[in-house]
Structure 1
């Protein structure tokens, strides 16, 4: 199997959506009363954090790739 690069933004997005799903599952089973106004901002904030982490990761990898190509050109 071909290896792929680690993408922390996608990891954060997956974990946040998994947590939101678990909270709704807990509410459905009647274990706890989770208000919607707690889950929606948590999900939106988590997806925003994931987007920022993805942008930072992209910028760091692009900068690293540019430095390597500059050193090979000399």
Structure 2
């Protein structure tokens, strides 16, 4: 059983920020030369893709319907 819901949008956004960090770490380590503005398209593209992934995942969850989980204790469903 999963401990929490899978959030693909957060995964994609995190991967974009990790990639931006790797680019600048490589520049700081002297492996390659990266201009300061390189991070802007990486982060913007990552955030746009994260939004699309989140919207698609939400649409899939809505179409699938209730997950079959029970309501928390003390709540009523109508």
Name the TM tier (shorter chain).
0.7 to 0.9
Structure 2 stretches lacking a partner, 5+ long: 69-78
Identify unmatched segments of 5+ residues in structure 1.
Answer: 69-74
Distance 1:4 1:11 in 2: 14
Instruction: Choose between structure 1 and 2: higher helix proportion.
Output: 1
Q: Which runs of 4+ in 1 moved over 3 A?
A: none
TM-score, normalised by the number of residues in structure 1: 0.76
C-alpha RMSD of matched pairs (Å): 2.1
Higher relative contact order (CA 8 A, sep 6+): 1
Aligned length: 67
